[in-house]
Amino acid sequence: MTSDVSAPPVPAGPDGPPVHAPGCDATYLDVLAHLQEAFLDGVRRADPQARVPWCGRWRVRSLVVHLARIHHWAAAEAARRREVPLGRGPFVLDELYARCAAELRATLAAVDPGAPSSTLLGPGPAAFWHRRQVHETLVHLVDLRRAAALPGPAPVAGAPAPALWADTVDELVTVMQPRQVRLGRTPPLAVRVRVDADDAGRSWTLGGAGLDGAGPDGAGPDVVVSGPAQDLALLLWRRTTLDDARLRVRGDRAALDVLLGSRLVP
């Protein structure tokens, strides 16, 4: 699975790892702070018992506790320290989330982005968690806003929305899905699927294709799905379906069903 080599590189920090969000001068930590603020606002406005679309039996309470725990865990991973369990609750939701969000930001700000840490890919730079937690929060902010029936798309302050959502797709294609295959949670794809983000000028191919989207036999992808980066990211994260009018499919729809039926993310 590959990313379009014509895509602009992500600016790097002083020691090399990327710390800036794509398409702007804002750092991932700047964007994370904006997203966490929006999420906390949603927590205070949402019914804790409201169902969360696309998340099985989760209600808002489950979603908030989940993201708070993820922030708390990621802070420990980035700093290479033992995680102190948060306990089972019950929790005051806005207090819990505000505390864990602040802990994550403070930890990532204090740890050099190039410092060694534990990542989902094994030992790697702490900067991994800057990007990972931005996209974790961005997707769950969409979940929360839908559950709370808040109007409009999830706000993305501090970075161009198409570029940031394209980065969400890139993370899934280059980090999350390959990890799922490596851990044996999903089989290697037997089809080739190209994903084109029209508003971000980026393309990716899943399924072992070459950089030009062709397989080893020179054949092109079995299917191409295109549309705005946000809709593509939400499709791959199973927050929307191919019934979304903003998405277009060319080629073998069954091949795309194979991709979407696999465990792309944990």
- CA nearest to 107, candidates 158, 72, 132: 72
pLDDT tens sequence across 41-89: 999 999 999 999 999 999 999 999 999 999 999 999 999 999 999 999 8
In the predicted model, is pLDDT for residue 154 greater than 90? no
Task: Output DSSP code: residue 209.
Answer: -
In the chain, which ranges are E strands? 2-3, 116-119, 122-125, 193-197, 202-206, 223-227, 248-251
| Confidence check: pLDDT of 2 > 70 | no
Sequential DSSP letters for 69-105: HHHHHHHHHHHT-------S----HHHHHHHHHHHHH
Question: What CATH number has the domain spanning 27-147?
Answer: 1.20.120.450
Q: What pLDDT, in 10s, does the model give residues 225-260? A: 999 999 999 999 999 999 999 999 999 999 999 999
Query: Which residues sit opposite 224 in a β-bridge?
Result: 194, 250
Q: Are strands 193-197 and 202-206 parallel, antiparallel or unpaired?
A: antiparallel
Top-confidence residue, 99 or 16: 99
Q: Which two tokens stand for residue 47?
A: 């019914």
In CATH, what class is 161-260? Answer: alpha beta
Domain boundaries, the chain: 27-147, 161-260
**Block residue for tokens 């379009």:** 4
The whole-model pTM stands at: 0.90
Q: How confident is the model at residue 24 (pLDDT cuts 50, 70, 90)?
A: confident
The yes-or-no verdict on residue 102 having pLDDT over 70 is: yes
What is residue 52's DSSP assignment? -
Q: Residue 179 and residue 205: Cα distance in Å, rounded?
A: 16
Report the percent of the chain where pLDDT is more than 90: 80
Burial state string for 14-41 with b = 16 or more CB within 10 A and e = fewer than 16: eeebbbbbbbeebbbbbbbbbbbebbbb
Whether the Cβ atoms of residue 34 and residue 155 lie closer than 8 Å to each other: yes
Instruction: Provide the mean pLDDT of the chain.
Output: 89
Q: Which pLDDT score is estimated for 217?
A: 59
**CA–CA gap between residue 117 and residue 124 (Å, rounded):** 5
| Interval 15-29 mean pLDDT | 78
What is residue 220's predicted lDDT score, i.e. its pLDDT?
85
Q: Report the distance separating Cα 135 and Cα 207, nearest Å.
A: 23
- The mean pLDDT of 128-138, rounded to a whole number, is 97
